[in-house]
A = this chain, B = another copy of it.
Amino acid sequence: MKFETLAIIGVGLIGGSIGLAAKRRGVANRVIGAGRQRSTLDRAQALGAIDEGTLDHVEAAAQADLAVYCTPVDHIAGQILSAAPRCRPGSILTDAGSTKLAIVRAIEGRLPDGISFVGGHPLAGSEKRGSEYAHPDLFQGRVTVVTQTPATERAALERVAGFWRALGAKVRVMDPEEHDRSLAVTSHLPHLIAAALAGALSPELFELTAGGFRDTTRIAAGDPALWTGIFAQNGAAVLDALHAFTGRLAEFQKALEGGDLHALDRFLAQAKKVRDALGS
């Protein structure tokens, strides 16, 4: 899998890691980064994540045979639709956004002939931001979801899947709805919970926290604007996941109020079984 020119729109933790991995693994001859601040681009270039940087994301995509959008989920579709008319025939556009349905729906059927879009989402990253946290092995052995709908072009899907495999990722193809429903449970709900827990902590209790509280709330340090966009785009699935979660809390509450120690133990034992199966 080889691309002549790879454009990365948004060179933060994910975009920077894509650049480092693509260059390290010889997946692209040339990597152009696009961003809104020259300092960000200079840092990414100094780190070796991109060969050159531009403040004009349309210009970057226009030069590329593959453009990967690593910008906030509420910017991706707009950026792609504005760049597509300038792209060369045969160009493929993809993204790394944490939601898929809203993005895919906004783009499908609105691209010029010869330009393809395939949605993507690498399940990697952290609460950290910026290319200074980028790593060429960030995707190694991790799942990247690539979306498929009836409108998805088979050849473009294969190219995008091959791109992620070349970066070390395990590719899972699924439809955007399934992605969003799944990620509501595995990512968006945990973020909401971590935020609800962290936000309620009064300062006098800070020193009475230990590793458990810190682990459980770590992702609440993520960027609020990014996450507001994710919640807004996946609201219905998040509300469903939240409903199921509060149902489980109510189940525990009932056992605790009733002094049903066997039920508490079963609840905790079942959770431990799942968590142990998940690995560290």
The residues of A with any CB-CB pair to B shorter than 8 Å are 123-127, 142-143, 145, 170, 172, 182-183, 185-187, 189-201, 203, 205-225, 227-228, 231-232, 235, 238-239, 242, 244-246, 248-249, 252-253, 256-257, 259, 261, 264-265, 267-272, 274-278, 280
Contacts and interface: CB of A to CB of B under 8 A. Distances in A.
B239 A198 contact: no
A244 B242 CA distance: 16
A126 to B, nearest CB: 6
The quantity of this chain's copies bound in the complex is 2
A164 to B, nearest CB: 14
A200 to B, nearest CB: 6
A215 B211 CA distance: 10
B249 A246 contact: yes
17 contacts: A142-B210, A186-B213, A187-B209, A189-B197, A193-B193, A194-B212, A196-B248, A212-B219, A217-B271, A217-B275, A217-B278, A218-B275, A220-B271, A220-B272, A220-B275, A221-B276, A228-B264
